[in-house]
Structure 1
Amino acid sequence: MFRLAEDLRVYLHRDPIDFRCGINSLAILVEQSMGLNPFERAAFAFCNRRRTRMKLLFFDRSGFVLVLKALTEDKFRWPKRAETVVALTAEQLRWLLDGIDIDAMVPHPVRQYQFVG
């Protein structure tokens, strides 16, 4: 398995795509539909309608890399959010690839205290 840098930005295209799309079609989708630069230091994730396949697209110094993960018996737990583009951390992408529902993961809220008491 390849390793993702901890500081890598990750963007999910929330809606399913036509999985016949290759590198060029996905790069155009990143530009036109997501409004992002496909050459930036980021990974772009796409899923099929049945949520059984995920494609990752990223640019690696001299060319695009396309990674496909296909599940035979399970489904990816794709985020159910209103926005078309969902920003994630590299850690959240690893969780998603491992089948974890990242929308169900709720961290403790950040607290701001003025004094001890």
Structure 2
Amino acid sequence: MLASLKEQARQLKQHTLTVYFAARDPRTPILVRALAVVIAAYALSPIDIIPDFIPVIGYLDDLILLPLGLALVVRLTPKEVLESARAQAQQVSDRPISYGAAVFIFALWLVALWVVARWLLHLART
């Protein structure tokens, strides 16, 4: 079962990358591009329709709405654009993962959060 979940997660990542590249292609109709942007924004947004902290149903929007939205974008995208986007997504997913770069970016975020927290504390004192 764990292998099946890992495969489904890999496929979801692949579909997300495909939709991303399809949305960036100028041959994609503007409404499909807009839908792809909305779906990507929802996927990355910390605000959900149903908050994730609610047991069981909290993740239903992520498990149902996102795959349905991705499927809709894939269905509405022209075939030649979709093939090109899938090829680009495959190339990106085949690249090696740089854990060093991930640690560096994480450290940058920590420093940025520390600076913002200090600034807010300074504002609160004055």
Considering the TM-score relative to the shorter chain, is it more than 0.5?
no
More helix by share: 2
Question: Which category of TM-score, normalised to the shorter sequence, fits these structures?
Answer: under 0.3
Q: What is the TM-score with the length of structure 1 in the denominator?
A: 0.26
More strand by share: 1
Q: What is the TM-score with the length of structure 2 in the denominator?
A: 0.25
Larger radius of gyration: 2
